Amino acid sequence: MKKFIIEEPFWTISPTATIGIVICNGIDNSIKDEEKYNNLLLEAEKEARKYLQDPEFSNNEVIKVWRDAFKKFKTKKGARYSIEALLKRIKNGNHLGTINPLVDIYNSISLRYAMPCGGEDIDTLQGDVRLTKAVGDEDFVTLGSDKSESPFEGEIIYKDQVGAICRCWNWRESVRTMLTEETKNAFLCIELVDEKRTEEFENALNDLANTVQAELGGTSKTAILDIRNNQVIIE
């Protein structure tokens, strides 16, 4: 029985954070209609522009709150949280393009709500998943690389028994556990650090779960974790 556990060292960095989880089982993530998912992303990109009202990119609130969060632990130089990377592309007029249905769906939700979303293939995870501080020797190989690049000691990471599966909290993921067209069971998450956006966060979580189930079949269930409720069964 696999669990997702948010460990005490994480809460010393971000005690008011909230993590929303969607567990998807029995989905069909094979690409059937690339045009549909391309249009989904295009619509989400249009909606995302409402979060960039200030011409100075770093002055927008959805950017500031995560930059402040990243200042609280050691990060790889140039690392930015995932929603900043997406919004930067939108600001520069660069279309995301499709990857696979599940990733396209969570990227569209991420853009529509300006919140970081991510996911892993449950069947590739080894043991429990933990959101915690890195020891510093965890194995980590990302897409486009052929060598391990371990996180810094104290860096916020998602990890399992084998190694890190996402570095710098939500910056870059491991190729070992990433979602593919063959994924049948998925662990998805949405992360919140701005307490003023709780209602939007809950809407985003439900939107993610409902969209995955409607488009890819299977079943989806949600959970919300915080400092008082720090773990959930994911398999």
Share of the chain above pLDDT 90, in %: 90
At position 4, the amino acid (one-letter code) is F
* The pLDDT of residue 145 is above 80: no
What pLDDT score was predicted for residue 144?
Answer: 75
Lowest mean pLDDT among 43-47, 69-73, 206-210: 69-73
Can you tell me the distance from the alpha carbon of 20 to that of 135, in angstroms, rounded to the nearest whole number? 25
The 10s digit of each residue's pLDDT in 62-121 is 999 999 999 999 888 878 889 999 999 999 999 999 999 999 999 999 999 999 999 999
Mean pLDDT, residues 45-53 taken together: 96
> How many residues can be counted in the chain?
235
**C-alpha dihedral, 101 to 175 to 11 to 104, nearest 10°:** -10
What band does 5 get if pLDDT is binned at 50, 70 and 90? very high
Give the model's pLDDT for residue 80. Answer: 85
The whole-model pTM stands at 0.95
Q: Between helices 101-113 and 198-216, what is the axis angle to 10°?
A: 160
pLDDT at residue 216 tops 90: yes
Mean pLDDT, the chain, rounded, equals 95
pLDDT at residue 189 tops 90: yes
DSSP code per residue over 166-204: EETTTTEEBTTS---TT--SEEEEEEE--GGGHHHHHHH
